[in-house]
Amino acid sequence: MLQFDLLKTEGHARRGRLTLNHGVVETPIFMPVGTYGTVKGVMPASLEDMGAQIILGNTFHLWMRPGLDVMQSFGGLHGFEKWDKPILTDSGGFQVWSLGDMRKITEEGVHFASPVNGDKLFMSPEVSMQIQTVLNSDIVMQLDECTPYWQGEKNVGHITTEAEARKSMEMSRRWAVRSKTEFERLGNPNALFGIVQGGMFEHLRQESLEALVEMDFPGYAIGGVSVGEPKDEMLRIMAHTPHRLPAHKPRYLMGVGTPEDLVDGVACGVDMFDCVMPTRNARNGHLFTRYGDLKIRNARHKSDHRPLDETCTCYACAGRSGVAHADGGRDGFSRAYLHHLDRCGEMLGPMLATIHNLHYYLNLMKEVRAALDAGAFAAFQQQFRSDRARGV
């Protein structure tokens, strides 16, 4: 089941509401990534507290471990990880692609060696649909071939040519047909998204888009970005593709990105985003704030009593109360303390940093939705850029 209600627009930017089998998602939305059935370093209750409405699971990794027998015994991923809100699962295509020499792509599917135990395995559109049906994710992704920006090692191989991008896109298009056929044969009650490919070539993106729209998927994703290309190339494709997709269906930009990318993506007509950046960067001491980014391990934070972000209401910045006291004090943790945890390798450090980064991303999307509700997105975008450029 999927219902998408378009509530308001401002230019290409859209305010919507997505109803799925496990709940309602207000869009635009950022989706935290939970690769192995968990968002690293965050309790599920904390995810709910910070406003997460939908999270991701990884088809490839959950197939490897714990396996489909275990997953089926729990009735799917929701019961296994105790998350009762919507879940989106990727198809496994990106992970298979990233195996490099350990895999061989053919028209039928992908033969590869398991990175867990070396077993010979096979992933096809049909297999991906079967796995995702067992996972019972609210949004299922077609199996596609992720078209890389570089063929071979960066600066050693070559930039993907138009002919190579076309060949990849056309195979993804044929795999979309097979994914949809198998999804329907299985009677999966959830929603299947098609994925627009075509590399950095707008006309190939348009061909892919038109073919997928003809297949009438419930929603659409833009794939093959943030795969090694320069930022200006990614922005060019982001500006070209989303607003050309059907207005009455949700649009998902896969694997993107920075706070600026999210706000720019909304302006281009994107409804849904995911990225490992807030969680991965948190584990490396890189924090996002309203006024720019900071690296908590830098020496200048050693004796700083301020929170990461004085405007932030997350547990790391404001403690349980989530607010500043009348005297300006806060119950949260200082930059000095987080610097100390990072330098000592204490696990609380990346946990607090992850809570903060995810809260920042989710709150950013909440502010975007409020601006769209008020018809003030353009003004919000300008203020956002000014704030981020101010510096911490």
Known binding residue 265? Answer is: no
Annotated catalytic residue 387: no
Helix axes 348-373, 259-267, angle to 10 degrees: 20
Closest CA to 238 of 210, 202, 214: 202
Cα(264)–Cα(253) distance, rounded to whole angstroms? Answer: 11
Say whether 219 counts as a known binding-site residue.
no
Question: 17, 54 in Cβ contact below 8 A?
Answer: no
Q: What is the DSSP letter of 160?
A: P
Q: Is 274 one of the catalytic residues?
A: yes
Which is the catalytic residue, given 90, 138, 271, 342? 90
Any known ligand binding at 72? Answer: no
Q: Does residue 317 have a known ligand-binding role? A: yes
Query: What are the DSSP calls for 232-277, one per residue?
Result: HHHHHHHHHSGGGS-TTS-EEETTB--HHHHHHHHHTT--EEE-SH
146 annotated as a binding-site residue = no
- 3 annotated as ligand-binding: no
CB proximity list for 222: less than 8 A, separation 6 or greater: 195, 196, 237, 238, 241, 242, 251, 252, 253, 254, 270
What are the DSSP calls for 328-348, one per residue?
S--SS--HHHHHHHHHHT-TH
Residue 268 counted as an annotated binding residue: no
275 among annotated binding-site residues: no
Active-site position among 138, 264, 271, 274:
274
Q: Distances in Å between the alpha carbon of 46 and those of 52, 53, 174, 284, 332?
A: 9, 12, 41, 20, 15
- Please report which helix (H) or strand (E) contains residue 221, including its range: strand 219-222
Q: Is 93 annotated as a binding residue?
A: yes
Residue numbers in the known binding site for Zn(2+) are 312, 314, 317, 356
Q: Which residues carry out catalysis?
A: 90, 274
Binding residues, by number, are 90-94, 144, 197, 224, 312, 314, 317, 356
User: Which residue ranges make up the annotated binding site for substrate?
Assistant: 90-94, 144, 197, 224
